[in-house]
């Protein structure tokens, strides 16, 4: 999936026109015991409940690719009868009307989710008549030849708010409040099937996790038979290793600056196009070549790339590889400069030592103290 697809599906969760038709929930305590179950048509809920659920649904698809969001493709073996994709496919086809399928899924989540505390498990089924689009991108709401049927899952922690005084808008005063259980933002969620090229892709799903932890990363293996790609920190570390091993002696300031500059351009372009900011293997090789890698350095690129990403990864995410600032750090130096103006820095060898030269602008300050003022017209610098 890409950002365009996610934004289109998020419109299905508008409070006034939500496309969810059925919902099932399971409330579980700290010991893993089921406290309550609920199942009904979504349209039967009260308006205030619908609004709260819609907010959670939107949250379940929020984040950045490679950081919170991941498009996961099922291995072929999981699509065979009895496989994990097959089970999820049957759950979606049932439209959550078969209690046994939903209960089996909730039980599986209860077994593998190791984080302590109360939690609310939510399964929601929706139907979206995908409108046609004109060549200039306009939606034709009355014209649709594709129906996207999907299942959305959310796992939300439930916290206890202690009793006390709270402000009541209707009464315009503070009133006593008893202890209440409050549903928090989802920790993990997924959308199946993935919404790809404005249609259902039953071979993949969109997975979201609020945070990457060793215990939580194994959930996708248990549920889908798919390992999660490296997270943001791991991808940045692996990319750094790849760059060093490919560039070797050409791993200098100017080449790294050029590499970061090009990555920043890719990131900005991806934002404009609302596309997933992934880099193919060939694109990464081209980036390193543009950054000064020699033929010798690129000779083992393929093996080095595969070794860095591992068997579960197919691409780096540009979002994870570039920051707003170019940061230089050593034992006695830490310096940051915006990527878009980093070209003003110049690397130069002086008396056998490498120096970075930075042109000093007018009105320079140190800790808020002006140390160089703009020269007046006709004034000569000392």
The pLDDT tens digits of the residues spanning 131-170 come to 887 666 666 666 677 899 999 999 999 987 766 666 667 7
Per-residue model confidence (pLDDT) at position 232: 83
Say whether pLDDT at 377 is over 60.
no
Summarised one tens digit per residue, pLDDT across range 262-306 is 888 888 887 776 666 778 889 999 999 999 898 888 998 999 998
Element (H, E) at 133: strand 118-133
Task: Give the mean model confidence (pLDDT) for residues 50-71.
Answer: 90
Give which of 287, 238, 246 is closest to 264, Cα–Cα: 287
| Average of per-residue pLDDT across 329-352 | 80
Q: What percent of the chain has pLDDT over 90?
A: 39
Say what the pLDDT of residue 359 is: 79
pLDDT score for 142:
66
Answer whether residue 336 shows pLDDT above 90: no
pLDDT tops 70 at residue 312: no
> Is the pLDDT assigned to residue 86 strictly greater than 90?
yes
Between 354 and 379, the higher pLDDT residue: 354
Q: What is the pLDDT of residue 164?
A: 64
Where do we find the tokens 């990464």?
A: 284
- pLDDT value, residue 217: 80
Least confident residue range of 14-23, 248-257, 355-364: 355-364
Mean of the pLDDT values across residues 175-180?
Answer: 66
**Who contacts 199 (Cβ-Cβ below 8 Å, separation ≥6)?**
130, 146, 148
pLDDT band at 110 (very low <50, low <70, confident <90, very high): very high
Mean pLDDT, to the nearest integer, of 117-128? 95
So what's the pLDDT on residue 100?
94
Max intra-chain CA distance, the chain? 87
Per-chain mean pLDDT for the chain: 85
Domain boundaries, the chain: 3-224, 232-324, 326-372
Is residue 18's pLDDT more than 70? yes
Question: What pTM did the predictor assign?
Answer: 0.80
Quick one: which of 36, 180, 224 has its CA closest to 122? 36
Yes or no: say if 354 and 348 are a contact pair by the CB < 8 Å rule: yes
Q: What is the pLDDT of residue 139?
A: 63
213-271: per-residue pLDDT in tens?
766 788 999 999 998 888 888 888 999 999 999 998 888 888 888 898 888 888 888 77
Q: Whole-angstrom Cα distance, residue 39 to residue 309?
A: 42
The pLDDT of residue 354: 79
pLDDT in the model for residue 357: 83
Q: In whole angstroms, what is the distance from residue 310 CA to residue 229 CA?
A: 8
At 268 the three-state DSSP class reads: helix
Token code pair at residue 293? 């890698």
For residues 36 and 314, give the distance between their C-alpha atoms in angstroms, rounded to a whole number.
Answer: 41
Q: Provide the pLDDT for residue 333.
A: 77
3 state DSSP class of 12? coil
Q: Lowest-confidence range among 8-12, 56-60, 375-379?
A: 375-379
């Amino acid at each position: 999936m890409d950002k365009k697809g996610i934004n289109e599906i998020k419109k299905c969760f508008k409070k006034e026109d939500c496309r969810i038709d059925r919902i099932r929930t399971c409330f579980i305590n700290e010991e893993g015991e089921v406290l309550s179950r609920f199942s009904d048509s979504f349209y039967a809920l009260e308006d205030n409940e619908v609004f709260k659920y819609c907010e959670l649904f939107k949250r379940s698809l929020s984040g950045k690719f490679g950081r919170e969001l991941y498009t996961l493709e099922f291995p072929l073996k999981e699509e065979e009868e009895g496989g994990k994709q097959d089970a999820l496919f049957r759950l979606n086809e049932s439209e959550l009307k078969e209690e046994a399928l939903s209960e089996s899924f909730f039980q599986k989540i209860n077994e593998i989710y190791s984080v302590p505390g109360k939690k609310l498990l939510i399964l929601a089924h929706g139907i979206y008549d995908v409108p046609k689009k004109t060549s200039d991108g306009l939606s034709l709401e009355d014209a649709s030849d594709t129906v996207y049927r999907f299942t959305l899952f959310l796992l939300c922690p439930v916290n206890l708010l202690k009793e006390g005084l709270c402000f009541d808008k209707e009464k315009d005063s503070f009133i006593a409040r008893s202890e209440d259980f409050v549903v928090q933002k989802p920790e993990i969620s997924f959308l199946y099937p993935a919404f790809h090229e404005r249609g259902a892709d039953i071979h993949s799903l969109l997975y979201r996790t609020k945070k990457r932890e060793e215990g939580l990363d194994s959930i996708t293996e248990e549920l889908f038979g798919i390992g999660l790609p490296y997270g943001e920190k791991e991808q940045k570390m692996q990319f750094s290793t790849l760059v060093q091993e490919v560039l070797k002696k050409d791993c200098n300031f100017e080449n790294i600056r050029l590499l970061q500059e090009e990555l920043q351009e890719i990131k900005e372009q991806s934002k404009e196009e609302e596309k997933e900011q992934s880099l193919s293997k060939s694109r990464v090789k081209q980036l390193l070549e543009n950054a000064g890698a020699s033929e010798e350095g690129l000779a083992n690129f393929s093996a080095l790339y595969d070794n860095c990403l591992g068997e579960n990864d197919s691409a780096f995410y540009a979002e994870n590889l570039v920051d707003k600032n170019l940061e230089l750090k050593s034992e006695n130096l830490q310096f940051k400069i915006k990527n878009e103006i980093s070209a003003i820095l110049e690397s130069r060898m002086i008396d056998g030592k490498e120096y970075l030269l930075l042109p000093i602008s007018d009105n320079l300050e140190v800790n808020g103290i002006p140390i160089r003022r703009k020269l007046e017209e006709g004034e000569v610098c000392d």
